[in-house]
Amino acid sequence: MDLYEIEGKKLLHEFGIPADEGFLYTSKDDERIQFPCVLKAQVLSGKRGKAGGVKVVHDVDELEKAAETISGLVIGGKKVQAIMVSPFMDIAKEHYLGITLDALNRKRVLLYSSYGGMDIEQLAEEDASKLVRMDVTEGLEPEELMKLVIGGGASENAAAQIVDIASKLYRLFIDCDATTAEINPLVESSDGKLTAADSKVVIDSSALYRQKDMTIIPRPALSELEQMAEEQKIGYVEIDETGNVGLVVIGAGLGMATLDTAIFYGLKPYDFTDLGSKLSEHCFRIGVRLVMQNPGIKAILFNGFGGMFSTKEMAQWILASMDELGGKKIPVVVKLRGYAPEEGWSLLEEAGIPLIKNGTTDDAVKLLKQKLEEAI
3-state secondary structure the chain: CECCHHHHHHHHHHCCCCECCCEECCCCCCCCCCCCEEEEEECCCCCCCCCCCEEEECCHHHHHHHHHHHHCCEECCEECCEEEEEECCCCCEEEEEEEEEECCCCEEEEEEECCCCCCHHHHHHHCHHHCEEEECCCCCCHHHHHHHHHHCCCCHHHHHHHHHHHHHHHHHHHHCCEEEEEEEEEEECCCCCEEECCCEEEECHHHHHHCCCCCCCCCCCCCHHHHHHHHCCCEEEECCCCCCEEEEEECHHHHHHHHHHHHHCCCCECEEEECCCCCCHHHHHHHHHHHHCCCCCCEEEEEEEEEEEEHHHHHHHHHHHHHHHCCCCCCEEEEEEEECHHHHHHHHHHCCCCEECCCCHHHHHHHHHHHHHHHC
Q: Give the residue-averaged pLDDT of 284-297.
A: 91
Could you read off the pLDDT of 208-218 as tens digits, one per residue? 999 999 999 99
Percent of the chain with pLDDT over 90: 75
Could you read off the pLDDT of 149-170 as tens digits, one per residue? 999 999 999 999 999 999 999 9
In the CATH scheme, what architecture does the domain 21-87 have? 2-Layer Sandwich (3.30)
Is 90 exceeded by the pLDDT of residue 369? yes
CATH 3.30.1490.20 in the chain: give the residue spans.
Answer: 21-87
CATH 3.30.470.20 in the chain: give the residue spans.
Answer: 93-210
CATH 3.40.50.261 in the chain: give the residue spans.
Answer: 224-375
Residue 347's pLDDT band, with cuts at 50, 70 and 90, is very high
Q: What is the mean pLDDT of the chain?
A: 92
Check residue 195 and give its pLDDT: 98
Could you read off the pLDDT of 58-79 as tens digits, one per residue? 999 999 999 999 999 988 767 8
Check residue 112 and give its pLDDT: 96
12 versus 340: the higher-pLDDT residue is 12
CATH number of 224-375: 3.40.50.261
CATH superfamily of 93-210: ATP-grasp fold, B domain (3.30.470.20)
Residue 229's pLDDT band, with cuts at 50, 70 and 90, is confident
Could you read off the pLDDT of 245-271 as tens digits, one per residue? 999 999 888 999 999 999 999 999 999
